Amino acid sequence: MKYKLKNFDTVDNNKIVGLWVENDAGSVYLIDKTIPIVEGQSIETYVQQAIELSQEEINNWNDTTSFIGKEFNIQDNKFK
């Protein structure tokens, strides 16, 4: 999977980290996470925290979309 930064905003005492996640099938999932600001923390650390907080949701999305667009062979009842 590919992770890209969609947005990175400050609201009150929080960073809003938006992620653009693309799986191997080319499906895209967008998600935002709110993370409390920590003085001196790097953007990369906020992004890593957002990925960690989103991982269960991302995994669920990936599991439900992994077969979308794949061709199904009715002769042997399998995906090609």
All structural domains of the chain with their residue ranges: 2-79
Is residue 38 within 8 Å of residue 56, measured between CB atoms? no
Strand order in the sheet with 28-36: 2-11, 14-22, 28-36
pTM over 0.95? The answer is no
pLDDT in tens, 20-77: 999 988 889 999 999 999 999 999 999 999 999 999 999 999 998 877 778 888 999 9
User: What is the helix (H) or strand (E) element at residue 48, kind and residue range?
Assistant: helix 43-65
Strands 2-11 and 14-22, sheet pairing? antiparallel
Q: Please tell me whether residue 27 adopts helix, strand or coil conformation.
A: coil
Higher pLDDT: 12 or 24? It is 12
Q: Which candidate, 29, 68, 31, places its Cα nearest to that of 47?
A: 31
